Amino acid sequence: MKKESVIIERTLNAPISKVWKAITDRDEMEKWYFNLKEFKTEIGFQFQFDGGPPDGEVYTHLCKVVDVINGKKISYSWRFKGYEGISFVTFELFAEGNKTKVKLTHEGLETFPANKPELAAHNFVEGWTHIIGTSLKNYVE
């Protein structure tokens, strides 16, 4: 099985503290990311949300925080209720003066069912490119 990962990097015109708050504060996250009932930057914290293509199946995402370096990195597991497979999403932040380089890595996509085209790697590339390059960028800038 070929290991499939998505890596998206963007430099945002915002300080690292603002970007960190945007990716870890529930109230901020719902303005640009997903609507979460609760979110905490604590290892072991579990959260879920619904999402999917506008005209397609709604997937319940089941996630658990697995790593946190305050102000720099957060990782969580990412799987779908009722489907095999588990992947991991990591946001890493790097200060570049008053700007912030964001590196998003989504690993383990090959573990998802091959018979679900919505869960194919190219859809995650498209989704994360929009989320990081447009939604987050517009929100923090």
Q: What is the pLDDT of residue 40?
A: 96
Retrieve residue 56's tokens: 């397609």
Q: If 0-12 CB within 10 Å is exposed, 13-18 middle and 19+ buried, where does residue 107 land?
A: middle
Convert the pLDDT of each residue in 88-129 to its tens digit. Answer: 999 999 999 999 999 999 999 999 998 888 888 888 999 999
Q: What is the pLDDT of residue 117?
A: 84
Domain segments of the chain as ranges: 5-140
Distances (CA, A) of 46 to 5, 17, 42: 22, 24, 9
CA 39 to chain centre: 13
- Contact by Cβ (8 Å): 79, 62: yes
Q: What is the pLDDT of residue 60?
A: 94
Q: Tell me the average confidence (pLDDT) per consecutive run of 10 residues in the chain, 141 residues long.
A: 84 98 96 92 96 81 97 97 96 97 96 89 91 96 96
Alpha-helix runs per DSSP H in 1-141: 16-24, 26-32, 121-130, 137-140
* Beta strands across the sheet bearing 99-107: 5-12, 99-107, 87-96, 73-80, 59-69, 46-51
Alpha-carbon dihedral angle through residues 65, 138, 107, 49, given to the nearest 10 degrees: 50
Q: What is the pLDDT of residue 52?
A: 75
Q: What is the pLDDT of residue 4?
A: 77
Q: What is the pLDDT of residue 141?
A: 96
pTM (two decimals): 0.93
Q: What is the pLDDT of residue 110?
A: 94
Q: What is the pLDDT of residue 2?
A: 62
| CATH annotation of 5-140 | 3.30.530.20
